[in-house]
Structure 1
Amino acid sequence: MGTTVFERRRPPASVVEHSLAETEQRVFWLDDLSAEATRPRPRLTGERVATLAIVGGGYTGLWTAVLAKRRNPEARVVLLEAKSIGWAASGRNGGFCEASLTHGRENGMSRWPEEMPILERLGLENLDAIGAAESEFGMDFEFERNGALSLAVEPHQVEWLREEAAAASARGDESVRFLDEAAVRAEVDSPTYLAAAWDTRGSAILHPAKLAAELARVAEELGVEIFEHSPVRRIDTPGSTGAVTLVTDGGWVVAQRAVLATNVFPSLLKRNRLMTVPVYDYALMTEPLTAEQLASIGWSNRQGLGDLANQFHYYRLSRDNRVLFGGYDAVYHYGRRVRARYEHRPESFERLASHFFTTFPQLEGLRFTHRWAGAIDTSTRFCAFFGTARDDRVAYAAGFTGLGVAATRFAAEVMLDRLEQRDNERTRLRMVRERPLPFPPEPAAAIGINATRWSLDRADHTEGKRNMLLKTLDALGLGFDS
């Protein structure tokens, strides 16, 4: 097999060791919140009666709460969170806010080609609405719609980008620009960059934890009751009452309708237990770059960046000019469990640090202040799925597969539409109505997922050539690039 640029141009081990010497295992975004944003909320005790009860205090649940109150200000909405608001994926992701609802055009075209014009328009409208929410609700979550650069770091990837830009132009989309090596290095200067496609419209960056905290604040100002440290143990839907009862350790909520927004965590519905698997993703955050360091790499347009490998890296600047650098390793642990100990993986952080200094050798000497990880709720179609249960009294969405920062808002609209039995453009979509294939039970899940990961790594070392396993998965609609 061949080598990748990250193997051909490894930095000295001493550079990696120095960069990680004072790094803390903490989530930068959560550390960066104010005391008011992290104030504790009460546990649920006793009984609450609600119009709508929501399980989960991440983006999906919080957008649902805010949009439910906007639709019906008189509704009594109660949100139950097992730990604290935004502590999981919503507070620790990379902060990329993508318009795509289908995890990229190619994935969508392989599944719902006739719907892609609608899905792309709805995705852009959804991203517009997220940006507008800052002024609409008086929020600040550091939203910057600077677009994103898809980067070729191996010669065979350059033609992929030419084709992407040409295809966009052919369908009348002039928002995607091809950049040759000189043009991309004029934007962001890395010796690894050979070309790029700049999507100027469909991507933004934001502060993940501030988005969650601000949504929670707005929800409470609209009258939503939020309870933390109140894990829901059971959901009851007695047929005679038409109600939904959510039972916690300290109390219960009786509601007309309920939304399950638990994503990567085990579903309260048996039908969804095999629909997602948790895949762990890892990230580093640097100290703030000095003016000289920033000048050495350019990046004045502050785009989000991601390379085209199957095992890809994503990176972006924070408001104070730190660089978040994440991705590459995507690790599944046998048994579908979400465990704090899986976040501690020194070899992943060392690999990321090495790849960072391959990308930006001019930043040698820079230190990382934070390292962290989180679990991605992965589905076999690589984007969210939706549904209802218990005589349409309960709605759910899950399976965002690492591209949910924007899509969670769309999911909230879909779930509210379904609970209100609305017949509209969203609810008529096949993408909304169809469920993906479940993952198999163990040990088949672990064998299949880890064989796929090995195959993706092999493809990265053979100019993108996919082996028989990947080709078979592609044919079954189960293929993916990371």
Structure 2
Amino acid sequence: MSARTALRLPTPVPASPQDRSYWLDTTVPERGDELPALRGDTTARVAVVGGGLTGLWTAYRIVQAQPDADVVVLEAEFCGAGASGRNGGQVHSWCESLDRLEAVVGPREAVRLARASVEAIEELAALQDGGLDMDLRLDGWIWGASSRAQEGAWADALARSRAAGLDVYTELDADGMLARTGTATSYQGVVEERAGSLHPGKLVRGLRDLLLARGVRIHERTPVTEIGSGPRPVLRTPGGSVRAEKVLLATNAWAGAIPEINRFMYSVESQVVVTVPIPDRLDALGWKSGASICDSQRQVLYFQRTVDGRVLLGQGTGNPVFAGRLGARTNRNPPLAASAVAELHRLYPSLADVPIAYDWVGAIDCVATHVPVLGTLTDRPDVHYCVGWNGTALAQLPVVSRILASVLLGTDDEWGRSRLVGAPPVPVVREPVRFLGAQVVRAAIVRRNALERHDRRVDPLTRALTHLMPTPEAVPAPDEPGRTPAV
């Protein structure tokens, strides 16, 4: 294998302890609890690169289907250290994205996947009932509006889901919103009742332990630095190697460093802040449940009351990452926190004196369709990838992992034939034009959001610039059983 044929992967920059998220800080393994790094050379039927939720869920589905399957998971730091431990902890079905799903896979498969995501939430509940503690609270997912421009943003999703027999949403008026969220800022919306919030760090730890009990090998502190070409590619790490029949790249935004993937995937930063515990003050606001909440602005806000009585609030900043080069700034970027804190105070002005205990950045892997892309690398038919979650994955991953497991095992079933497999990705503008253009568009979105929050008119130039951001495009997908993927 020559250097020219090897696929080189960058080593992620680990977050320092003071830059870890609330989720990671409350679940990070102690040194004695870390799993050993790979030492020496070994083989596997399936090698998973990345010990986050994509990788762990897929490994779980593989051993569910074939208990004796030889699977190894290679994680650069510790399981969940990347995007899986940095998200907003919101759990809701794919019913809000039926239009996007339909554009990629056709109406029949879109409904099937959305229905499967509803069932996945029940699977999460069953796992928790069976002993996998993830702080799952099915107190609802609330999708609201706090300005005229946001009103009715959910209307299409409501109509499509009801037409498909997925009547998961209930409309809320101002009183209903106030009773559930403790703020009068959002005054109308819908709620998906069998949805809510969870602790992603605990979910990662629970899945990790389930896999270990089923014989899956997991190596932490084991970054994959290079993947060879040809059949049974060799994955090289600082301490050894794995020769595998199939490889899954489950590295989320970090996959953007691969040129082929970077042509259609781009990364942006999402900012999250968490207060100190204030359960009594939240009780006084009437905010007592574990519902997850989001609004409908372009820099979407998402927030929840945590189990220990904190406010967790995140904001989609749209801040772009150049050419997928993630570094220390995509672990924590303090200047971004000010905007999220300002939004927290706008929603809950009486909490303006409450200290912020955590602030961190999560990198989001984005694609224009807002639907995950499942594919194989060109000239590397044994190296598969799954990217493009666009910030929505906790109830979707249990579904997509079934598809990935069938592809990796070569199983000819409804999952392996899903039209998500091999759906052509929509290319985006290449660097450096992408990065420069994203800065211009982001500035326009910030202006537009500020105007719309105050019900003010948006000028034509600002409106036109915001329409330049990548948006879902229809991909031909006949409404018929999917094609058999090449595995």
TM-score under structure 1 normalisation? Answer: 0.85
RMSD between aligned residues:
2.7
Shift of 1:296: 2.5
Instruction: Give me the whole-angstrom Cα distance separating, in 2, the residues matched to 1:429 and 1:180.
Output: 38
Is 1:289 the counterpart of 2:282 in the alignment? Answer: no
Structure-2 residue corresponding to 1:6: none
Cross-structure match for 1:247: 236
Matching residue's letter, 2:361: A
Runs of 5+ unmatched residues, structure 1: 1-23
Q: Residues 363 and 296 of structure 1: is their aligned pair in 2 closer, same or farther, counting only changes over 3 Å?
A: farther
Of 340, 354, 364 in structure 1, the residue corresponding to residue 342 of structure 2 is 354
Structure 1 residues 187 and 419, CA gap change in structure 2 (3 angstroms): closer
> How is 1:160-239 mapped onto 2 (pairs within 5 angstroms)?
160-161=153-154, 165=158, 168-169=161-162, 172-201=165-194, 203-238=195-230
Distance verdict in 2 for CA 1:265–1:156, change over 3 Å: closer
Q: 1:149 aligns with which of 142, 153, 169?
A: 142
Q: Deviations over 1:276-326 (max 9, x none)?
A: 2221111111111232x1223213343111111111210012111211011
Give the aligned residue type for 1:54.
V
- Corresponding residue for residue 328 of structure 2: 340
Counterpart of 2:269, as a letter, is Y
2:80 matches 1:86: yes
Task: Note if contact 1:180-1:196 (Cα within 8 Å) is conserved in structure 2.
Answer: yes
Q: Which residue of 2 aligns with 1:50?
A: 44
Q: How far apart are the structure 2 equivalents of 1:445 and 1:289?
A: 42
Number of the residue aligned with 2:296: 308
* Superposition deviation, residue 344 in structure 1: 3.9
1:12 is matched with: none
* Residue deviations 1:407-463 (CA, integer Å, cap 9, x gap): 233232212211233333333333333031233331111123223323433443256
* AA aligned opposite 2:404: M
Give structure 2 stretches of 5+ with no counterpart: 1-17, 475-487
Taking the aligned partners of 2:32 and 2:115, their CA distance within structure 1 comes to 35
Question: Quick one: distance in 2 between partners of 1:408 and 1:369?
Answer: 29
Report the CA distance between 1:60 and its aligned residue. 0.9
Per-residue CA deviations over 1:348-403 (Å, capped at 9, x if unaligned) read: 21221121121112224222211111211112222211023456423221111111
Once the two structures are TM-superposed, the CA of residue 266 in structure 1 deviates from its matched residue by 3.4
Report if aligned partners of 2:294, 2:302 keep a CA contact under 8 Å in 1.
Answer: yes
| Number of the residue aligned with 2:426 | 437
SS in 1 for 2:80: coil
In structure 2, what residue type is equivalent to 1:393? Answer: D
CA distance in 1, matches of 2:368, 2:264: 8
The amino acid across from 1:26 in the alignment is R
CA contact (8 A) 1:276 1:439 kept: yes
Residue aligning to 2:478: none
The 1:54–1:321 alpha-carbon spacing in structure 2 relative to 1, beyond 3 Å, is: same
Q: Percent identity?
A: 27
Tell whether the 8 Å contact from 2:262 to 2:324 is kept in structure 1 after alignment. no
Partner of 1:264: 253
Taking structure 1 as reference, are residues 145 and 475 closer, same or farther at Cα in structure 2, changes over 3 Å only?
closer
Cα distance in 2, alignment partners of residues 97 and 286 from structure 1:
21
Partner SS state of residue 297, structure 2: coil
Cα distance in 2 between the residues matched to 1:253 and 1:52: 10
Q: Secondary structure at the match of 1:232?
A: coil
Alignment of 1:375-414 (within 5 A): 375-389=363-377, 392-414=381-403
The total of aligned residue pairs comes to: 448
Distance, in Å, in 2 between the alignment partners of 1:76 and 1:166 is 45
- Structure 1 residues 386 and 364: CA distance shift in structure 2, 3 A: same
| Matching residue's letter, 1:235 | I
Q: Which letter maps to 1:308?
A: S
With the length of structure 2 as denominator, give the TM-score of the two structures. 0.84
